[in-house]
Amino acid sequence: MAKANGQLTEPQQKILTFITNYVEQNNVPPTIREIQYGTGISSTSMVSYHLKALERAQLLNRYERRSRGLVINEPHRVLLSDVVAVPLMGVIGASEPVPTPDADALAGAENSVQIARGLVGAAEGLYALEVKGNSMIDALINDGDIVIMRRDQEVRNGDLAAVFLTDRNESTLKRVYREGKRLKLKPENPTMKPFYVDARYAQIQGRVVCVIRKT
């Protein structure tokens, strides 16, 4: 279903974008079958499920007795310019390292996450990582969620950031605090304690700007 804070799931973003583009090109809304083919969603029943969620979120009206009875509500009309495709670069946790992606890596990423531009601002420097682990559950970031990151080597105390630990060959997502020549990396899980690392061996890879909950 659509998130209470206005954030949409990836299929819902795809559906809204597809409907908008279809109407602009054909002057009529698409059928459910056309939405299924156009978005790659597995079945028409799943399309209907997402349409109902979008209707509950008041992003569109659906007239079920008409085969082309979909109307996107103003002012929530979604255009291509309203959606950002963020490259999915890998996972973040405490196992496999995730190097800071350069421009070539971002351009060559095979998978991407669609997200409303209003949630993330400018697309430059954004990349997405899948979260592995439960160290950030009190920050409402759970195992399997997607975090949208912005490349940045400097963060403010308390920011959620991806940190690459060069001496351990690990990357981790934590709240970061600078304390002299070391960094305090704080989990958001009451069962886990903060730990400290030498700042010389810690590379800030980016800060979290948005979270996409797993469905």
95 noted as active-site residue: no
Tell me which of 174, 181, 184, 214 is the catalytic residue. 174
Dihedral of alpha carbons 99, 105, 110, 111, sign: positive
Place of tokens 């008409």: 66
**Is 3 assigned a catalytic role?**
no
Catalytic choice (3, 43, 132, 135): 135
What amino acid positions are annotated as catalytic residues?
135, 174
